Structure 1
């Protein structure tokens, strides 16, 4: 039997592929990779097939050809990236493998239909609308109020997401974000259909000033098991990339229960009955969670390692179990270890000239992992024009009170310098 991984270039997914390779060997299976531009990823698998997993049709054709050429059947299909989620659902449907449905995969990628599904399912969420012009945006702002958030219908990692505080800022930024929200996501498998369906519109949402969190869960036979809640103290706007997140959450137990209940409602609204999920909330008032968006996949980048260090639960193993039709083993530690991670950006866009403080943080016993994805001479973008940091750092401390001071120390030591 063979495990099929549909992948898209992402420099933070090395540990995911490494664990998938171990899992395949533990179960006597081969690991097959489908992606457009493999480099180091090929080191972790038994066979690579070149195909653009952002295209559902191209992916399906490549997988059909692979199935005809392979002597063993596929036992599972997974993806650890956002864009291939619809392709993975289509392949799973074709070969009768466990997965979310194709409909659910689309709901979890298309933020307008996601909002409509949440509304139908009674899930608390911000007020929202879609605008095709500044005039329409001003009309929506009369309902949502200011600040409001502009975001693409498609996309990931808070790329081309920004808040505006007033009508003057809306007028200043609207056209740029309207254009970028489609031109920068042409790779998305849903791009052409969504652009036609929404006539190139931009999603506008009420800004909620409360605490932001993200929730990592596993769903097995329709039952949700929440593994970890990360607090996300930064940023607070105007952009919303995941700079800093930490777990376990410092929310009161009553609020945690409300978040867990809201997560179950999110899964039901989207029809998620199996797999891992990453759900983002902000609190309205002191304790009412309102959903920002949800992904029908495990959280990206350092979240895998963060959950593992904090709880002892291996989410890659659990995802592969679920995709293989096995019941995952979920035995979290009795006490969660405080973990923080930093997605590293420079202060300004430009050419990377040097990395300072790397040896110092590597020698820090609190640092579990630090990776810089880029090298001097590379061009570095900053949010909102990129969805991914240019490195990450993960650290552990003894108590939750030490998380924020440790983060401030790490960020003052390690720097990406650009010019």
Structure 2
């Protein structure tokens, strides 16, 4: 009998790709990872997961490899856990007549300028925005919108290259970073200049056109947007919940989405909810774990079921409030040590402790998702209690960082970094 397989194209090595592979196995599938760098998934040998090297930036190469695998396996579906390959995966699904999202819709959504335009045309409230391809365009756009503004790549994710610019000096500096060769572009350089929509941040988790739930998040201090804490479900009034839910569905209609997972990011401003971004994918860890703990819906498994053509009902229950606290260093340097994982995991109510970095690893903060060196997830029926549990866990994690040697100083200076760094300090 031909073995039934599912193809997973790329993913975050410490994020959702392993849960996808594990969920596929629970459903009786043989997971196969296609990656430009299979070695980055260092757990694949221990998990006995097949990984094949292929240029995942090359659609023709992906198509050939999928065709080859179909001669050996019954390929039941193709999916991904990484935004930059979402459009390619949608095209593969269409080519092989497998369930998947609309390739055109995914491509429109992944271009933030096109996404803003389509949302605005549909009457969805978005920040004022302009597209710029050079420093002069950036300067003029910022003047038209009015400082402060957000500068971000028109194509990208994880807050990479995103910065709040409060004044002209900030604007010049970050424009030079984005357009001066320091930022790594996956497409032609295009910068979105955007009004700063200030207010509480919420994220809506969608599966198909169904709202699964809404979370709240807090960031470390600007100018970057590094997450510090997630809370699920968000503490909202009934009116706020309905407005965000309706707005999220309007986004999916405007962008032609509605198949598979999506995330809608919202800021609640003085003029009400404003859509910051729509992501045509499942959020990374620990978001799916938080949703499952809070309401019993396994988003990873539900996504795979859709990939297989199964549209089962997702029954939700609310029994717990879940808080994730991120561990973020306050300086660059060499991580000397990081301790307390087992002690934090032993705190009643702490359900997961994840450290993403090993001692002696260089730390060079980017101002985006890559700055996170770990997280703690806590759960209980009460929000205040859950936050206290998470804090107890965080208090037990400590680390030290030796700053990089600077010109004129010896490499053996022995200067010690954050011995008891605290997210949310």
So what's the TM-score if we normalise by structure 1? 0.88
Which residue is 1:213 aligned to?
202
Q: Does 1:53 align with 2:56?
A: yes
Which residue is 2:292 aligned to?
308
Cα distance per residue 1:94-150 (max 9 Å; x no partner): 111111111112122221111122122221110111223333222212332222111
Q: For 2:216 and 2:57, how far apart are their aligned partners in 1?
A: 31
Q: Compared with structure 1, are the counterparts of its residues 264 and 87 closer, same or farther at alpha carbon in structure 2 (3 Å cutoff)?
A: same
Q: Bigger CA drift: 41-50 or 91-100?
A: 41-50
Which residue is 1:228 aligned to?
213
Which residue is 1:19 aligned to?
22
Contact 1:3 1:24 in 2 (8 A): no
Which residue is 2:276 aligned to?
292
Q: Bigger CA drift: 262-271 or 358-367?
A: 358-367
Q: Compared with structure 1, are the counterparts of its residues 129 and 407 closer, same or farther at alpha carbon in structure 2 (3 Å cutoff)?
A: farther
Q: Does 1:338 align with 2:325?
A: no
- Alpha-carbon offset, residue 265 of structure 1: 0.9
Q: Bigger CA drift: 338-347 or 90-99?
A: 338-347
Q: Bigger CA drift: 155-164 or 2-11?
A: 2-11
Which residue is 1:81 aligned to?
82
Q: For 1:21 and 1:41, how far apart are their aligned partners in 2?
A: 14
Which residue is 2:225 aligned to?
240
Q: Compared with structure 1, are the counterparts of its residues 45 and 57 closer, same or farther at alpha carbon in structure 2 (3 Å cutoff)?
A: farther
- Secondary structure of the residue aligned to 2:185 is coil
Q: Compared with structure 1, are the counterparts of its residues 48 and 15 closer, same or farther at alpha carbon in structure 2 (3 Å cutoff)?
A: closer
Contact 2:12 2:81 in 1 (8 A): no
- Alpha-carbon offset, residue 309 of structure 1: 0.3
Contact 2:293 2:320 in 1 (8 A): yes
- Secondary structure of the residue aligned to 1:108 is helix
Q: Compared with structure 1, are the counterparts of its residues 11 and 55 closer, same or farther at alpha carbon in structure 2 (3 Å cutoff)?
A: farther
Cα distance per residue 1:340-382 (max 9 Å; x no partner): 1123221112211111332321211121111112111112232
Q: For 1:349 and 1:106, how far apart are their aligned partners in 2?
A: 36
Which residue is 1:124 aligned to?
125
Which residue is 2:342 aligned to?
359
Q: For 1:351 and 1:178, how far apart are their aligned partners in 2?
A: 29
Cα distance per residue 1:206-245 (max 9 Å; x no partner): 11111111111111xxxx2111211012235211122211
Map 1:16-415 → 2, pairs under 5 A:
16-25=19-28, 29-38=29-38, 39-44=42-47, 47-68=50-71, 70=72, 72-179=73-180, 183-186=183-186, 191=187, 195=188, 200-219=189-208, 224-235=209-220, 237-285=222-270, 288-333=272-317, 335-384=318-367, 387=370, 389-415=372-398
Q: Compared with structure 1, are the counterparts of its residues 268 and 18 closer, same or farther at alpha carbon in structure 2 (3 Å cutoff)?
A: same
Q: For 1:369 and 1:160, how far apart are their aligned partners in 2?
A: 29
Higher relative contact order (CA 8 A, sep 6+): 1
- Secondary structure of the residue aligned to 2:226 is coil
Q: Compared with structure 1, are the counterparts of its residues 343 and 56 closer, same or farther at alpha carbon in structure 2 (3 Å cutoff)?
A: farther
Which residue is 2:409 aligned to?
none
- Alpha-carbon offset, residue 401 of structure 1: 2.5
Contact 1:8 1:81 in 2 (8 A): yes
Which residue is 1:7 aligned to?
10
Unaligned runs of 5+ in 1: none
- Secondary structure of the residue aligned to 1:243 is strand
Unaligned runs of 5+ in 2: 403-425
Cα distance per residue 1:368-415 (max 9 Å; x no partner): 111112111112232326546222221113312334444444444323
Q: For 1:336 and 1:261, how far apart are their aligned partners in 2?
A: 24
Contact 1:17 1:44 in 2 (8 A): no
Q: For 1:184 and 1:134, how far apart are their aligned partners in 2?
A: 17
So what's the TM-score if we normalise by structure 2? 0.87
Which residue is 2:416 aligned to?
none
Q: For 1:417 and 1:271, how far apart are their aligned partners in 2?
A: 48
Q: Compared with structure 1, are the counterparts of its residues 387 and 232 closer, same or farther at alpha carbon in structure 2 (3 Å cutoff)?
A: same
